[in-house]
Amino acid sequence: MTKDNRTPRTETRRKAQMEARRKRNAGLWFNYENRGRGRLRSGVAVLALALGLAACGTDGPRDPIGLTAVSHGVETGQERRDRQTTAGVRETDSTDPWFAGAAIADEPAAALLARQVLEQGGNAADAAAAIYFGLSVTYPAAAGLGGGGICLVRKGGTATVDTISFLTRNPRGGGAIAVPGNVRGFALLHARYGSLPWGSVVGPAERLAATGSPVSRATARQLAASSATIGASPALRRIFMTPGGAIASELDVVTRFQLAATLAQVRSQGVGGFYAGQTANRLVDAAAAAGGTLSLDDLRDYRPDVAPAQSLNAGTGTLWLPASSVGAGAYNAALWSNIGDASPAELAEIARRTAVGLGAPADIDRDFGSTAFAAIDGKGGAVACAVTMNGPFGTGRVAEGTGIVFATAPANATLGLGSAFLAPVIVTGANGERLRFAGAGAGAPKGAASILYMAKNAASTSSAFSALEASPADAASPAGAIVCTEGAGSCALGINPRGDGMGITAVASGS
């Protein structure tokens, strides 16, 4: 029965079902344990207000976010750990007409922005871009506008996968400060594959920066681990320290007005609002003050690279990795071969040896300031991404007036290798048909090993999730994936078991 010829009784029943879902979902944002109820309620209210404001802009529909296709539609890393088994995995029925997509991210507020975009009719590319810009606000040590990354993209209904590489680059004049690639990269992703207006994917993050957001557990962990870097930078101290001189902790509210202004330029002017004009001039001046050589020509001439993803045999399916022309593609292909039938306990060492064999130092297990995320849509489209600052908060230098932290240049002998271990992964049927898996790893080599090990075991949801639980992934070297054993619409969320990220599902409007 179509929407236009529903009977009044059917329509009444449908509305009642929607209302019942809405009531089940109300208020279920985070699962903070060991916290007083008053503080939890306050923190949830602040987050709900911030995201509500993000939904009220002029760049897209003003539909409320909150309806979900399964249970309460979000699952935190803590909830995942609490279950400890794959029994009761929240999956969406493959015939569910409400399914609009799903996403995972290492920080919850960014994942919720993806749900907003999907429920406004956006596709996987729109959702991935929204996640990234959200992370640039809420997960800054790994996803700053000064960094770079790689995405794999599968358009729904196609049998091929593309690589979009927008890694940081060395300025022509050398030095420690990188040429940033993230803004151009996600602009290209959106331009080629997105469906919503550009402002609809950037605007929510802009408003989140301007209105402030409570620090999530994931971000609190990240800030605490970067306390030395924050303490050494007056600009970072102003942003991430409380008036009492402490690093912002869970549920403290952080507002980023300068970054909001930069995002407003990006929203209204596209890449020209970042790589040219006032923002570009400020980046060049700030880099010079920090001893860097970043120039207007470096910014103006930056272009992402697009190439077919490399495909490898994955038993009954096809594994898609970044193009072999990219360092991460070469590393992940070698690692895939080396993992073979290794046990989970061997993964970290195999990943380290593979990296050393390609020229990395022996002590490569460190925090590279990286994060991984993925999104799918109801039409089988998928985007898997990993981005890095080449060290937590990159150089630790902030361009005054922009809120932008400079990433470390790839020329750095150790931190510059962070880009090589980015590991976006997509798995399809043998001939590219039917999406089965979309995920990513990042950080030290063990993050890449973890996502590849999960992909090797993606024949069933339970085996994929067991592989993730047993993998060496951690908060600094994350891995996670959306597993769709029966195709898009029948998917489960594999969240990094030792992080505090979130997975979401979204409801198709007007179904």
Q: Please give, one letter per residue, the 3-state secondary structure of 277-307.
A: HHHHHHHHHHHHHCCCCCCHHHHHHCCCEEE
Structure tokens at 451: 């996502």
Mutual angle of helices 347-357 and 327-339, in 10-degree steps: 130
Chain centre to alpha carbon of residue 448: 15
Element holding 11 (H helix, E strand)? helix 8-25
pLDDT at 145: 98
Return the pLDDT at 488.
Answer: 63
Alpha carbon distance 481, 495 (integer Å): 7
Rounded Cα gap, residues 185 and 454, in angstroms: 27
What's at 405, amino acid-wise?
V
CA-based nearest residue to 438, from 423, 427, 446: 427
Output the pLDDT for position 290: 95
The rounded distance, in Å, linking the Cα atoms of 168 and 149 is 7
- Residue 12 neighbours by CB distance under 10 Å: 11
- For 180-193, what is the HEC assignment? CCHHHHHHHHHHHH
3-state secondary structure 229-272: HHHCCHHHHHHHECCCCCECCCCCEECCHHHHHHHHHHHHHCCH
Rounded to 5 degrees, what are φ and ψ at 363?
A: -95, 60
pLDDT digit string (tens) for the chain, length 511 residues: 434 444 445 455 555 554 444 433 333 222 222 223 333 333 333 333 333 333 333 333 322 222 222 333 444 545 544 443 332 333 333 446 788 999 999 999 999 999 999 999 999 999 999 999 999 999 999 999 999 999 999 999 899 999 999 999 999 999 999 999 999 999 999 999 999 999 999 999 999 999 998 999 999 999 999 999 999 999 999 999 999 999 999 999 999 999 999 999 999 999 999 999 999 999 999 999 999 999 999 999 999 999 999 999 998 899 999 999 999 999 999 999 999 999 999 999 999 999 999 999 999 999 999 999 999 999 999 999 999 999 999 999 999 999 999 999 999 999 999 999 999 999 999 999 899 999 999 999 999 999 999 999 998 999 999 999 999 999 999 999 999 987 666 799 999 999 999 999 999 876 4
Locate tokens 């400020």: which residue?
A: 282
Distances (CA, A) of 486 to 70, 145, 433, 435, 511: 16, 36, 12, 8, 21
H or E element: which one contains 49?
A: helix 37-54
- Provide the residue ranges of all domains of the chain, joining segments of one domain with +: 16-501
Q: What is the pLDDT of residue 198?
A: 98
Which is nearest to 303 in space by CA: 206, 164, 154? Answer: 164
What per-residue confidence (pLDDT) applies to 17? Answer: 52
